[in-house]
């Protein structure tokens, strides 16, 4: 069921008071390359599109989809069994529901935005060509279910940039640890790891644990100028091979931004020389 249709896309009203809607399914299946608008005009009222509803694109023959920054939630089964070859999640996204991308067997890589705080059960199950997963940097924890990914994934490269409630992938050969990570979960580990790359400047902020095979055979790459510190840091010093990554340069954080409102304009600046906003 849907409330109305505009330009071939079906919508349900979430709230009359806030004039918000979700994309849903209708008589005709979606196909091709889809662009979801951020807002729609219905009977001279402007509705904001904030959610992809349950099963909205279930088994639809869509190759790509463009989601606006207004989207906050992708609900359960939203893209189940789609032919999606890729998707760029909006930075506004906060939740990805249960089985939202199950059986999307053409997906090869995904990047989870830093605002996502929940990833549902079986979310990316049976995505057999998924090879690269990046979970963007943030200091806040993301609740991710243990079975959000499964053994049928073929993930090779994994980037962890924030604390997770759980994670289970054992196929990856390359693991990158983001600069903000301060909490370690052993489920990041894999006996197949060949490369562990840390972007952390001060290795004392995180105490990782790996399987013996990883310590013996994987190469740990660290930012330039930090090798000596890693050789002394607990959890890192067990690696038999530690190398500095010439491309991972040490940079200092910018000073706290200065935000001002002057003459009808918002001004953002920083005291750090050379910084840009």
Decide: 53 and 78 in contact? Cβ < 8 Å: yes
Q: Please tell me the predicted confidence (pLDDT) of residue 250.
A: 47
Q: Please tell me the predicted confidence (pLDDT) of residue 152.
A: 65
pLDDT, averaged per 10 consecutive residues of the chain (277 residues), comes to: 94 97 96 95 97 97 92 97 91 96 93 95 92 92 87 82 84 91 77 92 94 93 96 96 78 68 81 64
Decide: 202 and 225 in contact? Cβ < 8 Å: no
Question: What is the distance between the alpha carbons of residues 157 and 121, in angstroms, rounded to a whole number?
Answer: 21
User: Residue 15 in 3-state DSSP?
Assistant: strand
Q: Which residue has the tokens 């069921």?
A: 1
Tokens of 199: 């972007």
* 96: nearest Cα among 161, 167, 148: 148
Q: Please tell me the predicted confidence (pLDDT) of residue 254.
A: 64
């Amino acid at each position: 069921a849907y409330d109305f249709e505009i330009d071939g896309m079906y919508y349900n009203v979430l709230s009359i008071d806030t004039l918000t809607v979700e994309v849903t399914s209708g008589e005709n299946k979606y196909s091709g390359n889809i662009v979801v608008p951020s807002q729609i005009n219905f009977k001279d009222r402007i509705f904001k599109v904030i959610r992809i509803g349950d099963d909205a694109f279930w088994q639809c023959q869509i190759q790509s989809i463009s989601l606006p920054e207004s989207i906050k939630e992708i609900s359960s089964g939203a893209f189940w069994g789609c032919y999606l070859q890729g998707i760029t999640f909006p930075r506004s996204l906060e939740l990805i529901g249960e089985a939202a991308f199950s059986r999307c067997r053409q997906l090869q890589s995904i990047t989870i935005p830093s605002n996502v705080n929940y990833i549902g059960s079986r979310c990316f199950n049976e995505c057999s060509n998924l090879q690269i997963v990046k979970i963007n940097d943030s200091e806040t924890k993301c609740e991710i279910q243990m079975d959000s990914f499964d053994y049928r994934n073929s993930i090779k490269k994994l980037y962890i940039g924030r604390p997770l409630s759980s994670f289970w992938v054992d196929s990856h050969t390359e693991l990158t640890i983001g600069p903000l990570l301060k909490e370690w979960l052993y489920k990041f580990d894999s006996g197949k790891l060949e490369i562990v790359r840390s972007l952390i400047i001060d290795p004392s902020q995180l105490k990782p644990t790996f399987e013996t095979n990883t310590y013996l055979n994987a190469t740990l790459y660290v930012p330039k100028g930090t090798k000596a510190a890693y050789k002394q840091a607990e959890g890192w010093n067990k690696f038999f091979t530690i190398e500095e990554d010439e491309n991972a340069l040490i940079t200092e954080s910018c000073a706290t931004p200065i935000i001002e409102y002057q003459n009808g304009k918002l001004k953002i600046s920083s005291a750090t020389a050379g910084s840009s906003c």
